[in-house]
Amino acid sequence: MATTWMKALHRGGTIASTLKTRTDYAKDPDKTDDGEYIDCFECDVRTVDSELLFSKRLYEQKTGRDQGKHDVVAYHIRMSFKPGEVTAEQALELGRELALRWTKGKHQYVVAAHTNTKNPHAHIIFNSVNLDCTHKFADFKGSAFALRRVSDRICLEYGLSIIEKPGLSKGYNRAEYLGESKPPTVRDRLRERIDASLPAGKGLGLEDFLAALKAAGVAVKHGKQLAFRLPDTKRFIRQDTLGEDYSLEAILERMSGKRFVEPKTITPVSVELMPVAAPNLLIDIQTKLQEGKGEGYRRWATTFNLKEMSRTLIYLQEHGITDYDDLAKKSAAVSSEYNDRVQRINAADARLKAITELQKHMGTYRKTREVYAQYRVSGWNDNFYETHRADITLCRAAKKYFDDMGYGKTKKLPSISSLKQEYAILVAEKKKLYSGWNALKERRKELLVVKSNADRILGVTSKTPERDSSRNRERSYTHER
């Protein structure tokens, strides 16, 4: 039951910013399990936006065409599936198959499976310019139907369900497709309140009905038409927009028993409650007042702190942190893990840099040592030196680097193959260290803020991180290098 659509992406500023915005959305680590479910064709996942931009620049140079603001920068395809039918790995594989068949292998693309919703789905961003940078993808009338046919064919091959006749499916909607109940509208909820209030006013007057409605939490405004407002909404809803059974005449008839309407009960919607967002740092109000903030700021900051205290307590409850010692231990443990990873990543980076530098000098020495040997045999001849100055200088620089690093005296130069093997091991180790990095960093930030707030609430003396400004309510914690 896959649904697939394609959208042409036009400039939203510069071509570079448009490509970066759309590819970053597809590659979002929070939606792809830290980049686990991303694949690219004829480009690198780390530089996909730059490579797509480079192809477009070549296209302009080769063809001389520039469509300006009407230029289609790239195309965005979204392929979603019936809940429970595919895993993230399968969604990525299906997206890759669709991208390859649709572009026929003639366009660069990035495909990513997003796992941030109930059912995994695939996003594809493909370059409008082809690989040899001489033509652009020719969108055509009915391309949406053609794309859907390709998508359906792939799904059938993998044994997945499809929408047989999407244009003729009466009553089909996105909420039904996703297996979700449509949430009640404000008018639906208002009608339910009116139905519930009418029995109490049966046989009585309109004022009794309105009093019952107010007791149910509904605000009433008198005018040419009565208007009602639910307690959790801001706008009044006019009575004549609720339907014929809710006009003033119909209400009076229902109260007198002349009209009967089956009360409309709203089926409760099963909603997965999202956790409360992590709290922000409490404001040191006294310090701010001493810096020159006024009474208005004090009132705002007091309200802000009360909200953040509540969010702090809710966060502790949601994460099963029952006492201060438990909070301190978890905060210390996460910070220790974070700092340990930082040190290991920095050590791996330093070693990778050293290996690269050593390989460069070894390659230079291998290419120039024969010339340097001839120079030595010549008795350090000046004419020979002038003829081969560049090679001799490079060879001397390589020898000096080896001497400074202790090679040749206390240790032997490693082989190129061993350096390549070590380099590959370090790259794999770095990739493993970065797995779950964003989640760990966010967890550490949350716990530092929560502990700082708990310290202030409980009066525990500690060094609390200062906020950048009253408007910047969240502070990014950087690792200690």
Domain boundaries, the chain: 3-176, 186-256, 332-435
Residue 236 contacts residue 224 (beta carbons within 8 Å): no
Rounded to whole angstroms, the Cα distance separating 129 from 181 reads: 42
pLDDT of residue 332: 94
pLDDT at residue 465 in the model: 44
CATH 3.30.930.30 assigned to 3-176:
yes
Residue 469's pLDDT is 36
pLDDT score for 461:
63
Digitized pLDDT (tens) for each residue of the chain, 481 residues in all: 456 788 888 877 788 888 999 999 999 988 888 888 999 998 888 888 888 988 888 888 888 887 777 789 999 999 988 877 888 888 999 999 999 999 998 999 999 999 888 778 999 999 999 998 899 988 887 888 888 888 888 887 777 877 665 554 444 444 444 444 456 788 888 888 888 777 544 456 777 778 878 877 888 888 888 899 988 788 899 888 888 888 888 888 887 777 777 666 555 544 444 455 678 889 888 988 898 888 888 888 898 888 888 888 888 888 888 889 999 999 999 999 999 999 999 999 999 999 989 999 999 999 999 999 999 999 999 999 999 999 999 999 999 998 888 887 678 888 888 988 998 899 888 888 888 888 898 899 999 999 999 998 888 765 444 433 333 333 333 333 3
Please give the pLDDT value at position 177. 44
Sorted by sequence, the CB contacts under 8 Å of residue 165 that are 6+ apart come out as none
Task: Please state the separation of Cα 56 from the chain's center in Å.
Answer: 26
Nearest to 229 by CA among 214, 208, 207: 214
Residues β-bridged to residue 112: 38, 123
* 3-state per-residue secondary structure call for the chain: CEEEEEEEEECCCCHHHHHHHHHHHHHCCCCCCCCCCEEEECCCCCCHHHHHHHHHHHHHHHHCCCCHHHCEEEEEEEEECCCCCCCHHHHHHHHHHHHHHHHCCCEEEEEEEECCCCCCEEEEEEEEEECCCCCECCCCCCHHHHHHHHHHHHHHHCCCCECCCCCCCCCCCHHHHCCCCCCCCHHHHHHHHHHHHCHHHCCCCHHHHHHHHHHCCCEEECCCCCEEECCCCCCCEEHHHCCHHHCHHHHHHHHHCCCCCCCCCCCCCCCCCCCCCCCCCCCCHHHHHHCCCCHHHHHHHHHHHHHHHHHHHHHHHHCCCCCHHHHHHHHHHHHHHHHHHHHHHHHHHHHHHHHHHHHHHHHHHHHHHHHHHHHHHCCCCHHHHHHCHHHHHHHHHHHHHHHHCCECCCECCCCHHHHHHHHHHHHHHHHHHHCCHHHHHHHHHHHHHHHHHHHHHHCCCCCCCCCCCCCCCCCCCCCCC
The answer to whether the beta carbons of residues 39 and 213 sit under 8 Å apart is: no
459-475 burial code (b ≥16 CB/10 A, e <16) = eeeeebeebeeeeeeeb
Q: How many CB atoms lie within 10 A of CB 227?
A: 17
The CB-side HSE value for 232 (13 A sphere, CA atoms) comes to 5
